[in-house]
Structure 1
Amino acid sequence: MKVVLSTLNAKFIHTSLALRCLKAYSGERFDIDIAEYTIKDPSMNIVSDIFSRKPDVVGFSCYIWNIEETITVINMLRKIMPDIKIILGGPEVSYDMDFWMNRVQEVDFIVVGEGEETFHHLLAEIEGEGKYHMVFGVTYRKQREDRVEVIVNPPRPKLNLNELPSPHRFQEDIPHLGSRVVYFETSRGCPFSCQFCLSSIEVGVRYYDMERTKADILYLIDSGAKLIKFVDRTFNIKRDYALEIFGFLIENHRGCVFQFEITADIMRPEVLDYLAEHAPPGIFRFEIGVQSTNDPTNEAVQRRQNWMKLVRTVMKVKNSQKIDQHLDLIAGLPLENYDTFRGTFNDVFELRPEELQLGFLKMLRGTGLRRDADKWGYIYMDRAPYEMLGNDLMPFGDIVRIKRVEDVLEKYWNAHRMDRTLLYLVDRVFPSPFDFFQAFGDFWERSGWQKIGHQLEDLFSRLWAFLDSLPLPSVKDKGSLTTEREDTSGDDPFSFDAIIAVAGARLDPDVVFGLMKYDYFLNHNYKPRKTWWDFTMDKAVWSGYMRRLAERPGEVSEKFAALGLNERELQKHAVIERLPFDLDMFLATGEVNKERHTLLAVLYAIEAGNSKPKARPFMLTMEAGSEAFSL
């Protein structure tokens, strides 16, 4: 009996741990192929490939991101292979099984929950006597005299994880390990009961044997894995277990990167101290689900969170400069309106995470929040991903506006294309980070840019167009605006118009223009062929600066002089800009001094030990108005 296990991943670089777990458990008895595709692949291509494998049974792993595309494939498969057995599994179909069996008539079976043992037993019955009523954890169709009945069998008891074979030892995976994300679990289950999350349904946490876990990780590293993502719901729930794994990875990483989902407010200080002292920079990444800092919201969804301890953990990790942190927020949770979400966003952005992921509540099947949707007045999409469209406190109009925040947040902050510029804007110009991203997102939408693509220079020119649109009063000493707003209605003295007006009053165009130029140059590894602004320096002045840099490099720095570059080499590998303030002082102290100017020289040349150039900035400070290039 030929079996094909398949799924449609969100991206090509992703891999399915679930399929490998099923094959590892059943592959010795049954002839099993793994066939992975993406949701972007044409359905005809997917069906053609599965057809060419001539399977008797096809199983699909289903999630909110692939269920609709999977159904299209199933519809086509049934028409061209009417006798094939089709099995669904995964979190998307493990709840409301009657619904799925009625909606997708082509499906023969649904495997519910943990699938290794259930799937193996089901395959044995398909090949054998067909006693499906004996297979715990399966939903199937039974032919009665006058109708077809959907039968939902009782669930299967939890598995002993240490009796499961490793899903990481397939030879056919080895050539692809270096170019794909490898998903890895050291435990199953979650100790928390957050009502918006499927993990809350499974009570208790079970662990794999430590030595087996270490052996599998070492095998993957030795076989060429470059990124291993641990899928444990809360990796650090068991301190000693997590600490031992961290230590093992530090000793054996060999350049591989490891990503974990952690609960920051339960991270023990001794673990943080150990990581700060021993972890090499760049091999660990932490994903931290903050979701909301609004206490009534967390209480409503049964989420326990100590904000002060979370901040302590995030800042200690950040200060160690060893580990990148990815913090998650969810817009649309109960008892959170536009203003309280603004507060949540600002609270988290204040921590300056390397990435701030702004998501929107999904009303997942099986969760408590979906069952209580009427209590909070939720309306949401009928089909996956079941995203909320509004509730009693956050109407659809607010959701639309926050989506604009998400859009520019992703393009600018999470991409880290102009961090210095953004920090100036959120700290010194706009009343809060959220207000900047909201105002810019609204402007982006009004400008129609969401309908067209962009290059790097477009991102800079569009930000400048937005800032140029702000009202610039002649007097720059307006009073500061409070960062708290009680209401966003027209009667609010700190309405959005007021926020824009105060931002315009605080903006110093010289400073932001200079910072944007600096960020733009540092975004390139090679000398940029064009700039997003008009280069206005007179050619004679430009030549004079180049001559001075070549003949008197010590005025810049000893490091610059040590390069020993002549004028021709500078013209080939360097860009220069004169900025009307002291950039070096600003970057060091935050002070704006316009009595001294900066000649910014960015060099693009190959350094010893590097295979490609890297932008290296050098600065020459001079008095305002001086003809600094003359010799």
Structure 2
Amino acid sequence: MNPRANNCKILIVSPPLSRIRFNLSGIMPMQPLGIAALAGYLRKKGLDVELLDSVALRHTTDQTLWEILKRNPQIVGFSTTIFNIAHTHVIIRRLKEIRPEIKTVMGGYGVVFPPEMLGSKLEEIDFFIKGEGEEALWKLVCAIQGKADVAGVPGLIWRENGRVRQNPPSPPLDPNSLPLPALDLLPKAPYSMHPPFNIKPPLCLVETARGCGWQCNFCSLSRDLRQKSVERVREEVAWAKRIFKAREVHFVDPTFTAGRKRLFELTAMIKKDFPGLAWSCKSRVDLLDYEAARRMAGAGCHIVSLGMESGSQKMLNAMNKAVTVEQSVRAVRALKKAGVRSLVYIMFGAPGETDQTVRQTMDLLERIRPDYALFAGLMPDPLSALLRRKSSEGVLSQEDVFNFYYNNSAAGTPLENDSFTEIPMADINRWVKDAYTSFYVNPRYMASRLFASKSLREIKNLAHGAIMLAKDALFPPGP
């Protein structure tokens, strides 16, 4: 099964994104590791593959379409999120009108809805890949070229005689066995990351694990945590430094600190092999203590993002976080003592949220004073336990959820007035806006950040983030 003969050109696209209110990740483009990983795998198999990062190039849907046509591929894959399904659909629909013979594939996190819904609502798309895409896309290329059976492509959603079919998924891939992501095929764009990261550009993203070993009910990440070896992480950091001249790295996996022995080995490796490298990561609050924070700081870690979510134990329990408020307190204080900054993620709107529980969260933030906080309304993943429960209760249908994400708007759905958890959207929007005002528009906070800043670049970086948040508060992005 080798498609080297009669080779065809494959283009993998990261489509334009919709802006989400108070989501700073939409401000600055970051390297799309997903499409780079796919390209690295296909290239190792001998295929002719190119990448198109429309987010980094700031392309519109029209510009993305014409760039695809200019490159003249035989197969086009689109790596989607739940926030750019509509953009992807528009591009593919128009592409098929002009070049119907081009085979189109949609993968990524946008492929989370029932197969029949995807097949009927996105009928112009030839194939969908659900789950990890490296092996599946490779086998699909073989099938398109007539060298394999499409029924053997793992996780594939396809049509046969007018019926939508879904193939069984493949076992989770071992990330240590995969080739390095094809970072060299990405455009030489000004990749960055939103404030308060990017203190020592150029910055590059690096993945050290796949999946997550916990069961928060608003998330649907794979529960099978698969970590890369310390040596493999060293190779990926070295590769990022070589291709992007990276002086700062952000480790993207949600639980970088999982496994104390491995964490200490990683920090020792970074300190020895990459002196002077600035880096950041994400962590659960129950995976951090002072000794871990101290070693991370000694290896160059300058900020850790914590999935704190709430300062109310009632809300943490409602989200099945399996942590305590006191663990959040200890994590923030451990980082502060070690000289590492903290950014906490807070979500309002879990089942049972009230003005009182929101007040508990804001009181806790005032008490422990993390360096930064990002606030948002709860938006559960479409396949999360929370949304599955709401669907079974008849509160929301899968079609309601699809329409919400497809249109980037709640208009015409039960979410127009109520949230995913039946809390009025007006209340959640008020909580988020008031939280930003309370946390940041505070003379004591602003003075502390100014005095803590270590360079003019950092001050400018933070000012840029503040301006973007203020714009979102005054002029919310439209659908």
Q: What TM-score do you get using the length of structure 1 for normalisation?
A: 0.61
The aligned counterpart of 2:332 is 314
Deviation string 1:16-35 (CA, Å, 9 cap, x unpaired) is 11111111111142111000
C-alpha separation in 2, matches of 1:288 and 1:297: 16
Q: Structure 1 residues 413 and 38 mapped into 2: Cα distance closer, same or farther (>3 Å)? A: farther
Structure 2 gaps, min length 5: 1-7, 18-25, 193-200, 451-469
Partner of 1:487: none
Residues 250 and 376 from structure 1, CA distance in 2 versus in 1: closer, same or farther, beyond 3 angstroms? farther
Q: Which amino acid counterpart does residue 30 of structure 1 have in structure 2? A: L
Alignment-derived partner of residue 156 in structure 1: 170
The aligned residue for residue 7 of structure 1 is 14
| 2:281 match | 260
Identity %: 23
Change (3 A) 1:171 1:203: closer
Number of the residue aligned with 2:266: 245
Shift of 1:325: 1.0
Distance 2:137 2:31 in 1: 20
For residues 444 and 119 of structure 2, the distance between their equivalents in structure 1, rounded to whole angstroms, comes to: 42
The answer to whether structure 1 residue 209 and structure 2 residue 229 are counterparts is yes
Structure 2 counterpart of 1:193, from 215, 230, 236:
215
Q: Distance in 1 between matches of 2:276 and 2:187?
A: 19
Match of 2:474 among 447, 450, 455: 450
Question: How big is each residue's C-alpha offset from its partner over 1:294-348, in whole Å with a ceiling of 9 and x where there is no partner?
Answer: 2233223322002223211211211332x22110011111121122122123213
- Contact 1:191–1:203 (Cα < 8 Å) also in 2: yes
**Pair 1:94–1:450, CA change in 2 (3 A):** closer
Amino acid of the structure 2 residue aligned with 1:397: A
| 1:351 aligned onto 2:375 | no
CA distance in 2, matches of 1:415, 1:86: 54
Which residue identity lines up with residue 219 of structure 1 in the other structure? W
1:331 to 335, 348, 359: 348
Match of 1:366 in 2: 383
Q: Please give the alpha-carbon distance, in whole angstroms, between the structure 1 residues aligned to 2:102 and 2:444.
A: 46
Do 2:30 and 2:191's aligned partners in 1 also have CA atoms closer than 8 Å? no
**CA positional deviation for 1:268:** 4.1
SS in 1 for 2:100: coil
1 CA distance for matches of 2:443 and 2:387? Answer: 30
Unaligned runs of 5+ in 1: 422-443, 453-631
1:166/1:415 Cα in 2 relative to 1: closer, same or farther (>3 Å)?
Answer: farther
Superposed, 1:561-572 pairs within 5 Å as none
Change in Cα spacing, 1:390 to 1:136, as seen in structure 2 (3 Å) is closer
Native 8 Å contact 1:7 1:16 kept in 2: yes
Hey, what's the Cα distance between the residues in 1 that align with 2:475 and 2:183? 45
The 10-residue stretch of structure 1 (331-340 or 405-414) with the greater mean CA deviation from structure 2: 405-414
Equivalent residue, structure 1, for 2:50: 33
Alignment partner of 1:27: what SS?
helix
CA contact (8 A) 1:363 1:386 kept: no
Question: Once the 2 structures are TM-superposed, how far is the Cα of residue 273 of structure 1 from its aligned partner?
Answer: 3.8
1-side partners of 2:422 and 2:218: how far apart? 17
The count of residues paired between Structure 1 and Structure 2 equals 418
Q: Does 1:226 align with 2:247?
A: yes
Q: 3-state DSSP class of the match of 1:87? A: strand
The answer to which structure, 1 or 2, has the higher relative contact order (CA under 8 A, 6+ apart) is 2
Partner residue of 2:424 out of 395, 406, 409: 395
After the TM superposition, which residues 214-613 of structure 1 pair with which residues of structure 2 at under 5 Å, given as runs? 214-223=234-243, 224-275=245-296, 278-280=298-300, 283-321=301-339, 323-373=340-390, 382-384=403-405, 389-390=418-419, 394-406=423-435, 408=437, 412=441, 417-419=446-448, 450=474
Change over 3 Å in CA distance of 1:275–1:104 after alignment to 2:
closer
Would you say the 8 A contact 1:92–1:365 is kept in 2?
Answer: no
Q: Distance in 2 between matches of 1:57 and 1:339?
A: 53
Q: Identify the residue that residue 509 of structure 1 maps to in structure 2.
A: none
Within the alignment, does 1:182 sit opposite 2:204 as a pair? yes
Following TM superposition, by how much is the alpha carbon of 1:254 offset from its aligned partner in structure 2, in angstroms?
4.7
Pair 1:126-2:144 in alignment: yes
Report the Cα distance in structure 2 between the residues aligned to 1:59 and 1:74, rounded to whole angstroms: 10
Deviation of 1:59 (Å): 0.4
Cα deviation for residue 78 of structure 1 reads 1.3
Is the radius of gyration larger for structure 1 or structure 2? 1
Give the C-alpha shift of residue 44 in structure 1.
1.2
| 2:356 maps to amino acid | D
Instruction: Answer yes or no: is the 8 Å Cα contact 1:20–1:168 preserved in 2.
Output: yes
Contact 2:387 2:420 in 1 (8 A): no
Separation in 2, partners of 1:237, 1:270: 14
Q: Does the aligned pair in 1 maintain the 2:36–2:186 contact within 8 Å?
A: no
